[in-house]
Amino acid sequence: MRLSGIGVSITLLAGLAFGGAQSNFDADQNTWTLSNGWIRASFQLTPEGYFLTQQISDLQSGDQWAASPNRPTSPVCLQTDSDLFDAQTQFILVAQHAESVSLGGIRQFITLQDVKGRAQITVVFDLFNNHPVLRYSLRYKNLTPGTTHITWINMVPWSFDDLGKRYTAFRINQWSVVAKPQDFEPLQTLLDTSGAGVEVYSGADGQQCGWLALRDSDQRGLFTGWEFDGRTKTTVRQDSGKGYVQFSSTVLELNHPVETLSEFQGPNTFIGLFHGDWDEAGYRTQRFVESVLAKPAPDSKTFPYVSWDSWGYQDKIDEQILRRNADVAANLGVQLFVVDLGWARSIGDWHADPAKFPNGLGALSDYVHSLGMKFGLHFALAEADPSSPVLRDNPDWSATEDSNYFGAASLCLSNKPAQDWLIQEGIRMIDEYHVDWIVQDGQNMVKQCTKTTHTHDPADSNYANAVQGINAVVSAIQQARPNVLWENCEDGGSMMTFNMVKSYVTSITNDASGALPSRQAVYGATYPFPPRYAERYMLDSDGLTPYATHSYRFGGPWVLMTKVADLQADQVAFLKDQVQNYKNQRTDISAGKVFHILAPGANATDAIQSYNETTDTAVAVVTRAASSGSTYLLKPKGLQAQNRYTVWFEISPVVYSQTGAQLMANGFRVMLPQPFSSEVVHIEAQQ
């Protein structure tokens, strides 16, 4: 709908460019075109007043994703009480402008008002240099005289012409507290052309990671992720009769109140383009995450860390046990020393147990620092023992959901009094015990709570306990103590989201469950997430063999839960050598493109590889479980065809010298002489 006699402010910009990214607004046609030389996206406010997506194109491959004429789609897709705002809603343009963003790119704001005067909606697009990814969010302002409730929002509001092709959806399971063989299993599903959806249930305590990729038979691909830690349902489906594929993603149990002239900010999401296989979809996602979303990692020369964690002793720890282990850990080359559950008087009473630490926990921290290591502490911030002072004095602060984490009750973090107390406790704990690293633990970090006595809406706890709960608490503590690094854990990797990466430098994947589950977790998690977000815990029960240590070589931080104070001299020497090998190649793995060559299984041989284009090197870990083959023909991927490489092994003395083309086409034999053996392969460009 054209503006005519309506008193609104409009900013008209013919075009605005920052580096390679630019946004062009055609005031005559009311169209916006955003491009960075790789991806181009166009939108229009039609003469009838409908705000619609036109097309998203891959300028490098030539792939085009155009809106289906049978299914108009709009970036505006939300519902309040009885009002639906979508592709069938008429709007007027209130204002629009673009501005630069610090990470290199543009941010386009488009503010619309529905013609009935019920709401003002601002659509925000971000486009960054060197990434085929469009980031998107929606802001709703209530213009009605009473409070409204946001009851539904489509965070991934994209529909495209299916061009008569078949499509395959790809997603990844996340960790389940009840251990399952399918933890972090990659799932491929050919879409049913009659419209049946493929579903992803993500977020804290969800079933899958918060990511979904789609590819057609010509290798044209899309991927999408959503930046929300609460529970969501995301669907992709194809209706070939009407000629479209459609995404939809919503926050479950959403009932967020918005007072008159107040605003609701929907979660950010992103959609990206790729051409090729699922490794390419994952790599494009990971590069975007590292460049734009993720909490900056420490120095890449020293991170991911090798850590030691006291959980090998479970909660049977004290100052002397920890000091003995700290001495050996420092000798091994461990960088981070973590005191796990059992250090406090009780869960929720975050003061050191004086019987276990007669000299104070701060004294142990100082000793760890004197050995050259960082000091970490376990913090189950959303849990409290029923007898702890916080719940004894404030019994109503508990959530209606009880996770029963080691007998503790659950706190409702979006209840403002509980939240304020917890923030102050976190800051005090960090200061009093000289903490460098927090292991955030618990079970289901986004609690369900329907109490009417709390400061959140009782029907909105999923959104409230995510955004106004765990996100608000962690953000406040981090702002107060910005030099402390946080690790995401909730009994394992059961909150693998793209909001999580913004607050934590790493995340556990599988919990302490052994060598094979560790490899399975890394294999799946490193499709959507950078390798540093695939942290692993190594147990005493794994033993000290190359098979065990190699099972933890690929991925993020390597955490030893081994009772290192009890090791023999030869075991210490072996482990020290393995720690150094891990350190020597962690940068190449973290910065490289991951190739998922062969999935792990109890009776299989598995292989995973990273190729670092900057250094022109590759690292592959090949592991034989209970399979029968004594060798494996490895065909590496991603090498420069014309370059000549040296191939060497950490165990076998064999050395090869061949071109990248030869290695990728013909491969080479990796020796795995017996069940539960392994090899680490290094491929280095010759100068």
> Who contacts 116 (Cβ-Cβ below 8 Å, separation ≥6)?
none
In whole angstroms, what is the distance from residue 58 CA to residue 223 CA?
13
Delimit the CATH 2.60.40.1180 region(s) of the chain.
595-685
Q: Enter the tokens of residue 321.
A: 């046990």
Question: Confidence class of residue 299 from pLDDT cuts 50, 70 and 90?
Answer: confident
- Look up residue 76 and give its two tokens: 């505006």
Confidence tier at 4 by pLDDT (50, 70, 90):
very low
Q: Looking at the predicted structure, is the pLDDT value of residue 2 above 60?
A: no
Report the alpha-carbon distance of residue 101 to residue 118 in Å, rounded: 31
Answer whether 273's CB lies under 8 Å from 214's CB. no
pLDDT of the residue at 190: 98
pLDDT score, position 20: 87
What letter does residue 57 receive in the DSSP assignment?
Answer: E
Average pLDDT along the chain: 95
Q: What are phi and psi of 496, to 5 degrees?
A: -90, 90
Rounded Cα distance between 462 and 633, Å, is 48
Between the alpha carbon of residue 290 and those of residues 174, 295, 427, 486, the distances in Å are 20, 8, 27, 16
Q: Per residue in 649-666, pLDDT tens?
A: 999 999 999 999 999 999
Fold of 16-293: Beta-galactosidase; Chain A, domain 5 (2.70.98)
Task: Return the ∠ at Cα 626 (arms to 623 and 630), rounded to 5°.
Answer: 65
For residue range 480-502, what is the model confidence (pLDDT) as tens digits? 999 999 999 988 899 999 999 99
Query: Per-residue confidence at 3, pLDDT binned at 50, 70, 90?
Result: very low
Q: Which CATH class is domain 306-591?
A: alpha beta
* pLDDT, tens only, 516-541: 999 999 999 999 999 999 999 999 99
Q: Give dist(CA 154, CA 121) in Å, integer.
A: 14
Place of tokens 């055609």: 26
**Listed range (18-22, 199-203, 246-250, 349-353) with the worst mean pLDDT:** 18-22
How far is residue 255's CA from residue 80's CA, in Å, rounded to a whole number?
A: 9
The C-alpha atoms of residue 3 and residue 1 are separated, in whole angstroms, by: 7
Per-residue confidence (pLDDT) for residue 19, from 0 to 100: 56
pLDDT digits (tens, 9 = 90+) for 217-236: 999 999 999 999 999 999 99
Q: Ramachandran region of residue 486, left (φ > 0), alpha (ψ -120 to 50) or beta?
A: beta
Select from 538, 545, 534, 536 the least CA-distant residue to 563.
Answer: 538
Provide CATH 3.20.20.70 ranges for the chain.
306-591
Mean pLDDT of 27-48: 97
pLDDT digits (tens, 9 = 90+) for 162-171: 999 999 999 9
Q: CA–CA separation, 620 vs 612, rounded Å? A: 12
CATH no. of 595-685: 2.60.40.1180
Instruction: With cut-offs at 50, 70 and 90, classify the pLDDT of residue 300.
Output: confident
Following DSSP, what letter does each residue of 399-434 receive, concatenated?
A: -SS---BTTBEEB-TTSHHHHHHHHHHHHHHHHHHT
Residue of 562 and 12 predicted with greater confidence: 562
What CA–CA distances, in Å, run from 648 to 520, 589, 595?
Answer: 25, 17, 19
Q: How far apart are CA 591 and CA 471, in angstroms?
A: 28
Closest CA to 436 of 391, 494, 485: 485
The share of the chain scoring above pLDDT 70, in percent, equals: 97
pLDDT in tens, 301-357: 899 999 999 999 999 999 999 999 999 999 999 999 999 999 999 999 999 999 999
What was the pLDDT predicted at 71? 92
Alpha-carbon span 660 to 666, nearest angstrom: 10
Percent of the chain at pLDDT above 90? Answer: 92
Pairwise CA distance, residues 273 & 215, whole Å: 10
Q: What is the distance in angstroms between the CA of the first residue and the CA of the last residue of the chain? A: 63
Using alpha carbons only, give the angle 301, 506, 419 rounded to the nearest 5 degrees: 135
pLDDT of residue 13: 39
pLDDT at 103: 83
